[in-house]
Amino acid sequence: MRQEKIFGNAEKTLDKRPNLWYNKITKGQLIVQKTEKEVDTMKTMSYSTAVTNAIEGNLDAETLETLGRLKVSLDKRNSNRSGKPTKTQIANAEIGEAIVSAMSVGEAYSINDIAGLVPALEGATPQKVSPIMSKLVKAERVTCEKVKGKNVYRLA
pLDDT by residue (tens digit) across 29-79?
Answer: 545 555 555 445 546 788 888 899 889 998 888 888 899 999 998 988 888
Is 14:31 a contact under the CB 8 Å cutoff?
yes
What pLDDT, on a 0 to 100 scale, did the predictor assign at position 149? 87
The arithmetic mean of pLDDT across residues 72-101, rounded, is 87
pLDDT of residue 118: 85
Domain ranges of the chain: 2-42, 47-79, 87-155
End-to-end alpha-carbon separation of the chain, Å? Answer: 78
CA–CA separation, 38 vs 3, rounded Å?
Answer: 15
Distances (CA, A) of 95 to 20, 108, 128, 139, 155: 72, 18, 11, 14, 15
> For residues 11 and 77, which has the higher predicted lDDT (pLDDT)?
77
Q: Looking only at Cα atoms, what is the longest distance across the chain? A: 98
CATH number of 87-155: 1.10.10.10
Partners of 20 in beta bridges: 35
